[in-house]
Amino acid sequence: MQTIVRLADYRPSDYLIDRVDLDVRLHPTETRVTATLALRPNPAGAPGAPLILDGDELTLLAIALDGQPTGPGAIEVTPRALTLHQPPQRPFVLEIETQVNPSANTKLMGLYRSNGVYCTQCEADGFRRITYFLDRPDVMAVYTTRIEGNREAAPVLLGNGNLVERGEAGPERHYAVWHDPHPKPAYLFALVGGRLGRVGSRFTTMEGRDVEIAVYVEPGKEGRADFALDAVARSMAWDERTFGRAYDLDVFNVVAVSDFNMGAMENKGLNIFNDKYVLASPDTATDADYANIEAIIAHEYFHNWSGNRVTCRDWFQLCLKEGLTVFRDQEFSSDERSRPVHRIAEVRTLRARQFPEDAGPLAHPVRPQAYREINNFYTATVYEKGAEIVRMLRTLLGPETFRGGMDRYFATCDGKAATVEDFLAAFAAESGRDLTAFSRWYEQAGTPTVAVSGTYDPAAQTYTLAFRQSLPVVATEAAAGAAPRPLVIPVALGLVAPEGGSVEAVSERVRDGVFVLETAEESLVFANVAAAPVPSLFRGFSAPVKVEHALTRDERLTLLAHDGDAFNRWQAAQSLAMEVLVDRAKAGAPLKPETGPAGAGLTRALATFLDDEALADPAFASLVLTLPGEQEVAQTIGAEVDPDAIWRARQSLRMQLGRDLGPRLLALRDALAEPPGAPFSPDAASAGRRALRNAALDLVTAADPEAGTALALAQLDAATTMTDRLAALATLSLVPGEAREEALARFGEAYRHEPLVLDKWFALQAMIPEAGTLARVRGLMNHPAFSLGNPNRVRSLVASFSLNNPTQFHRPDGAGYDLTAEVVLALDGKNPQVAARLLTAFNTWRMVESERRLRAEAALRRVADAPGLSPDVSDIAGRSLA
């Protein structure tokens, strides 16, 4: 039985640890760790309480209290805890020697080996797998770490903070001592030992500190680390410019490892990365990879302030560091690239990942009130919706006050383990506003819906917008049946004249283009409006809500053509397409191009748009051409979903766009062709050109598979970038036949020694929307490069199938569910975190039509009933079925 941890039960630790001296002697199977802990009773804790240190899969070798062996009965050791029954009620020192086996650590939490490299992962609770400890984020200590290892196997020895000493330790071994002067929670501890290549440079901070920055990768791959290294320097400069935050150590190291459960980790001064988010060369990485690397390097670096200097009091406050840091990395990417294009990408992620989560059985508030397994709360809700809350705060307060609030937050909470309340208090103090009602965003789960209707009164020359907000009732513990309370919703808006141009109407409720909806229902009246306008609402997606707004097709076409807000132009195209998709899917329409007036209106508008604007902003144009995804359509339909009908609807519309826009698309593709011999650049403009060219190829092929295949084959041969090569292969992968099979085989052969490229190849095949895909995936699980032990391989092959191939995961015969359940169970004994993540594919099971629903439920039950489940998987299975 797992116990439930509740926010309401939080109390401070009874003891604190001020200093930690670690001596780690690396060994493949018998690593020894001596921890010397300087402890003292916490004045805020319970006097005389026993000291209970967390542990997990540790072998205790020795323990001493103030240099003396502990007496009989003084300590008690269980698999998960070391208890000292009567600790001294004054400062004291515990010296604990433990042994761990990094080679047997397949959970990839604590100390493990990845391709022979020793590395650690401690967030959220991995430090207890290294030594017994008060493994909670509000216990902060100053760490000194001595790392000793074999000189041949581990020439590079890295720790947190600054290197203070290194030397020989016998004929075969050496050591390094690292000291981190900044007190930190144990989850930010890290060490690395191994044979690694290095690229490095220097950065001088605005405070004049000369920082050595370096990226460590597998030897031989140094050439692929330059982009990441440059992204570090750009992140440092941006955080100084934008938030006034400077780096605070003499060294900043990034290490890439190939076995990693998540994207990357912000350990103090020693960020450890999934190598997928570090390694890049034009030949092996796509434009999307470059963008992700830049964003994640920035994200981890930004944590140095939002996460490390100010950390979380407890894990319920996870959004305090994650939501804020996602917001910061989004801003960075927007500044470094294109703001509207990036905003669209953010919203697409939110809608594809967070909205379904918020609408399904795993829904939880951005700040949860209870958990069984904290590792299951690194979710789209905490990260992405958490970022949206910070963004709304900026919209509500305005950029200057927001920046002032951030400064205040960092100043008042520096060196502390803080809460969401501390964060909001800084903004309340800065702005003089009461943010109590706003704070409900953190407490109430579910995506709000805002229904809006507009009425024009020609006699009075007024235009009235009536808003009504509603929140789904989500059964979370804290809600306990209570009706949700109205949220504070910033609505950025404007009025557009039917013929284009903005209507300068006034309403005292609109300030700087923002109306704040604070109650369940409110109306907004604009005076002096000469003609009926078209409202452009939630500009820039100013709140994470669903909008119900009965605009006519013509009004949407007006917004697509004339809105001054690029996001809403894109949104207008999406909404027009969504209408067609939902209608066709609900009607169970056959697979042929749409011919009705709705589709025709959309293609005509897109034709004009492409003629007038595609060459000016190809990245934006490629997004306008991309239809809402199958999952988004499923969410819009909401119940009794037939994934095959959605796929047919989407494919039909793609065929139609390809047919009606074909000549234009081909012309654009030629006009945007890279001149031969042009140097590669991963910048946003070049990436945008490639994106539009490839969107064109994709649509043309949907309409004319034969012609498209020829173009794709030619592109595959001529491509000088992985972006173009993979796009061609993706296009081919949707056309059954020999050309596809040959192209896939050749690609697989060409990159057989490049795991990260093979991941793309696995993913692409796992996403083919055909009945044969299941057998293909099973076959690929036997591919020599595939391994259940490596999270990237599991994600690229199996999770791509289960999470990104709706028609095949939801096969009517249930075989997609069975495969997923089978892999979850096979994986659970090795790596519960990755297994639990895969199981979230069942999140939408209640939404599908009844036959599939029964089969999905049966597969879920099989998982739930399996003996010996990890807490991670049993938590997801239990909540999914509840």
Report in angstroms how near the CB of residue 188 gets to ligand PHE at its nearest.
Answer: 9
Q: What does the block give as tokens for 644?
A: 């095959």
Interaction residues for ligand PHE, span 110-129 (CB under 6 A) = 121, 123-124
Report in angstroms how near the CB of residue 300 gets to Zn ion at its nearest.
Answer: 7
Report in angstroms how near the CB of residue 272 gets to ligand PHE at its nearest.
Answer: 8
Cβ proximity to ligand PHE, 184 vs 299, nearer residue: 299
Cβ proximity to Zn ion, 325 vs 439, nearer residue: 325
How crowded is residue 379: how many other Cβ atoms within 10 Å of its Cβ?
24
- Is residue 724 a contact point for ligand PHE (CB under 6 A)? no
Cβ proximity to Zn ion, 190 vs 848, nearer residue: 190
Q: Which residue is nearest to ligand PHE (CB)?
A: 262
Report in angstroms how near the CB of residue 265 gets to Zn ion at its nearest.
Answer: 8
Cβ proximity to Zn ion, 291 vs 692, nearer residue: 291
Report in angstroms how near the CB of residue 521 gets to Zn ion at its nearest.
Answer: 37
Interface segment toward Zn ion; rule CB under 5 A; list 323-331, 347-355, 451-459, 851-859: 323-331
Give whole-number Cα distances, 24 to 144, 380, 383, in Å: 11, 36, 34
Interface segment toward Zn ion; rule CB under 5 A; list 85-93, 197-205, 314-322, 395-403: 314-322
Interface segment toward ligand PHE; rule CB under 6 A; list 245-253, 259-267, 449-457, 632-640: 259-267
Cβ proximity to ligand PHE, 265 vs 777, nearer residue: 265
Residue 53 near which of Zn ion, ligand PHE, none (CB within 5-8 Å, type-dependent): none
Interface segment toward Zn ion; rule CB under 5 A; list 318-326, 349-357, 512-520, 812-820: 318-326
Please select the residue that binds ligand PHE; options are 125, 259, 266, 384, rule is CB under 6 A: 266
- Is residue 262 a contact point for ligand PHE (CB under 6 A)? yes
Cβ proximity to ligand PHE, 311 vs 800, nearer residue: 311
Interaction residues for ligand PHE, span 47-66 (CB under 6 A) = none
In degrees and rounded to multiples of 5, residue 100 shows phi and psi of -135, 160
Residue 121 near which of ligand PHE, Zn ion, none (CB within 5-8 Å, type-dependent): ligand PHE
In degrees and rounded to multiples of 5, residue 351 shows phi and psi of -70, -35
* Nearest in space to 64 (alpha carbons), one of 88, 106, 93: 93
Residues 6+ positions from 322 with CB-CB distance below 8 Å: 307, 378, 382, 383, 386
- Contact of 15 with 133, CB cutoff 8 Å: no
Rounded to an integer, what is the distance from CA 636 to the centroid of its chain?
A: 23
Cβ proximity to ligand PHE, 303 vs 372, nearer residue: 303
From residue 365 to residue 404, the character string flagging contacts with ligand PHE as x (rule: CB under 6 A) and all else as - is: -------------x--------------------------
Q: What gap in Å lies between CA 349 and CA 219, rounded to an integer?
A: 34
Interface segment toward Zn ion; rule CB under 5 A; list 74-82, 321-329, 594-602, 792-800: 321-329
* Nearest in space to 150 (alpha carbons), one of 195, 91, 87, 200: 195
What count of residues does the chain have? 882
Q: What gap in Å lies between CA 332 and CA 325, rounded to an integer?
A: 10
Cβ proximity to Zn ion, 322 vs 388, nearer residue: 322
Report in angstroms how near the CB of residue 333 gets to ligand PHE at its nearest.
Answer: 15
- Contact of 158 with 253, CB cutoff 8 Å: yes
Please select the residue that binds ligand PHE; options are 275, 289, 300, 660, rule is CB under 6 A: 300
How many helices (H) and strands (E) the chain has is answered by: 29, 34
Q: Using CA of residue 782, residue 786, residue 789, residue 791, what is the dihedral sign?
A: negative
Residue 337 near which of Zn ion, ligand PHE, none (CB within 5-8 Å, type-dependent): none
Interface segment toward ligand PHE; rule CB under 6 A; list 263-271, 404-412, 578-586, 759-767: 263-271
Q: CA neighbours within 13 Å on the CB side: how many for 644?
A: 12
End-to-end CA distance of the chain: 16
Q: What gap in Å lies between CA 350 and CA 322, rounded to an integer?
A: 15
User: What does the radius of gyration of the chain's CA atoms come to, in whole angstroms?
Assistant: 28
Residue 265 near which of ligand PHE, Zn ion, none (CB within 5-8 Å, type-dependent): ligand PHE
Q: What does the block give as tokens for 190?
A: 């890290």
Please select the residue that binds ligand PHE; options are 265, 310, 493, 827, rule is CB under 6 A: 265
Q: Is the peptide bond before 124 cis (omega within 30 degrees of 0)?
A: yes
Q: What gap in Å lies between CA 247 and CA 119, rounded to an integer?
A: 24
Q: Tell me, by CB under 6 A, how many residues bind ligand PHE.
A: 13
How crowded is residue 154: how many other Cβ atoms within 10 Å of its Cβ?
23
Q: What gap in Å lies between CA 797 and CA 780, rounded to an integer?
A: 8
Interface segment toward ligand PHE; rule CB under 6 A; list 233-241, 261-269, 447-455, 515-523: 261-269
Report in angstroms how near the CB of residue 346 gets to ligand PHE at its nearest.
Answer: 16
Q: What gap in Å lies between CA 881 and CA 641, rounded to an integer?
A: 19
Helix runs in 563-683, H state only: 566-587, 597-613, 618-625, 630-637, 643-671
Q: What does the block give as tokens for 828?
A: 């659970």
* Catalytic position from the list 123, 300, 336, 630: 300
**Which pairing describes strands 110-114 and 92-100: parallel, antiparallel, or unpaired?**
unpaired
Q: What gap in Å lies between CA 535 and CA 551, rounded to an integer?
A: 9
Cβ proximity to ligand PHE, 257 vs 661, nearer residue: 257
Cβ proximity to ligand PHE, 148 vs 388, nearer residue: 388
Q: What gap in Å lies between CA 766 and CA 131, rounded to an integer?
A: 41
Report in angstroms how near the CB of residue 281 gets to Zn ion at its nearest.
Answer: 26
Interaction residues for ligand PHE, span 679-718 (CB under 6 A) = none
Catalytic-residue membership of 300? yes
In degrees and rounded to multiples of 5, residue 453 shows phi and psi of -135, 145
How crowded is residue 165: how many other Cβ atoms within 10 Å of its Cβ?
11
In degrees and rounded to multiples of 5, residue 224 shows phi and psi of -95, 5
- Is residue 329 a contact point for ligand PHE (CB under 6 A)? no
Residue 218 near which of ligand PHE, Zn ion, none (CB within 5-8 Å, type-dependent): none
In the three-class reduction of DSSP (H, G, I as helix; E, B as strand; rest coil), residue 668 is classed as helix
Report in angstroms how near the CB of residue 325 gets to ligand PHE at its nearest.
Answer: 7
Please select the residue that binds ligand PHE; options are 125, 322, 617, 660, rule is CB under 6 A: 322
Interface segment toward ligand PHE; rule CB under 6 A; list 173-181, 260-268, 560-568, 577-585: 260-268
Q: Which residues would be at the binding site for ligand PHE (CB under 6 A)?
A: 121, 123-124, 261-262, 264-266, 299-300, 303, 322, 378
Q: Which residues would be at the binding site for Zn ion (CB under 5 A)?
A: 322, 325
Which residues are the active-site residues? 300
